[in-house]
Amino acid sequence: MNQATASQRGRQPTPVSREQLPLSCPPRGVEVYALHPRVYLPITATGRAVCPYCGAEYVLQD
């Protein structure tokens, strides 16, 4: 289980740095064949984003 999918199970949101933008879920580098379709999440306006497929939470770290 990767950190993004783990966060949907009551764990802390996944921190995201500005160098990792644009933010996608599943994150880049994770094989997507067994997961949901990759979606890009807007995080810069509020500093938080939630994946509509898996519920993974992300928080922007400055």
- Domain ranges in the chain are 3-61
Render pLDDT for 40-51 as a digit per residue (tens, 0 to 9): 999 999 999 999
CA dihedral 41, 26, 28, 43 (to 10 degrees): 20
pTM attached to this predicted model: 0.76
Looking at residue 6, its pLDDT comes to 46
Mean pLDDT over 32-36 rounds to: 76
Q: Measuring CA to CA, which residue among 47, 27, 50 is closest to residue 38?
A: 27
Indicate whether 31 pLDDT > 50: yes
Confidence of residue 7 (pLDDT cuts 50, 70, 90): very low
Three-class DSSP category at 56: coil
Across the chain, mean pLDDT equals 85
| DSSP per position, 6-53 | HHTTT-PPEEEEGGGPSEEESPTTS--TTSPPPEEE--TTTSEEE-TT
